[in-house]
Structure 1
Amino acid sequence: MPNVLIQPYIMFGGCCEEALEFYRTALDAQIDMLMRFQESPDPTPPGMLPPGFENKVMHASFRIADNVLMASDGCEEGQEFKGFSLSISVTTEAEANRYFSALSNGGQVQMPLAKTFWSPCFGMLTDRFGISWMINVVTTDCTE
């Protein structure tokens, strides 16, 4: 099988820069690269962007630990994320609580952190940008 890398590419529909800052704070994300539409070496085709999107993020690359994700504002305002979750696996309850608390700030908890049959501590939430997250502890006990 050839060497294949699959990376999430998230379209934030106008709030990419705000989302990147949120993940920088909540998950210690590091922004490796950010280019705005107005910085593109090729002009954007007429009518492709809504008015005011010239200063929005055309492409960004960021890291959470050793994981690389990509992001953009896309070419339209507003996005709806359905049918997927980003999953974070950690080894301690403290890490799970930290990430869960940070990501749920302004978001919505679907399942609070709790013991399950596959994990000593697991929870699900949707962050303030509509991204679904699962936090999973792989080796320790979970106590509320």
Structure 2
Amino acid sequence: MKVNPYLNFDGTAEEAMTFYKSVLGGEFEGGVSYFGEAPGMELPEEEKNRVMHISLKVSEDVAIMASDTSPSMGHVLHKGNHNYISLAPDSREEGERIFNGLSAGGKIEMNYEKTFWGAYFGSFEDKYGIGWMINYTLQPGEE
């Protein structure tokens, strides 16, 4: 079983996912689907370019998926702290690179630094309101 985080945005899904791709790498799977492309949907003009689905394949096991809300269909986005994406990089340096890249313009909750549990860890809310945790577990002999 694979578990993929699915994020909702209020009109910024494509911008946010492009930003995530610029930091994390990967490729968009299947392109971007917009609400205006769906047959039989009557939407206000300003909602037709909202993202119905986008998937960023970061690795063989991880894809981050997202969509925009559609206000005319009653969707309301509620930002909150109920959801984080937790990343486990392969090195302390990769963790620091990701932390610095994704937290730019956001709100840092805990700096990326060595912790009492034997890891380098940091958490933040990015500029789109999404919570992230970066945790690199130190290997034997590492400081």
TM-score if structure 1 supplies the norm length?
Answer: 0.83
Change (3 A) 1:119 1:12: farther
Equivalent residue for 1:12, pick from 9, 15, 18: 9
1:27 deviation in Å? 1.1
Per the alignment, residue 100 of structure 1 pairs with 99
Matching of residue 35 in structure 1 with residue 29 in structure 2? no
Q: Output the aligned Cα RMSD.
A: 1.9
Matching of residue 52 in structure 1 with residue 46 in structure 2? yes
Matching of residue 72 in structure 1 with residue 67 in structure 2? yes
- Per-residue displacement from partner, 1:56-87 (whole Å, max 9, x unpaired)? 11111111223012111121375414312110
Which stretch has the larger CA shift, 100-109 or 114-123? 114-123
Determine helix, strand or coil for the equivalent of 1:90.
coil
Determine helix, strand or coil for the equivalent of 2:116.
coil
1:131 deviation in Å? 0.6
Determine helix, strand or coil for the equivalent of 2:97.
helix
Structure 1 runs (4+) deviating above 6 angstroms are none
Determine helix, strand or coil for the equivalent of 1:82.
coil
Aligned length: 135
TM-score if structure 2 supplies the norm length?
Answer: 0.84
Structure 1: runs of 5+ lacking an equivalent: none
Contact 1:14 1:78 in 2 (8 A): no
Structure 2: runs of 5+ lacking an equivalent: none
For residue 70 of structure 1, what is the amino acid of its counterpart? M
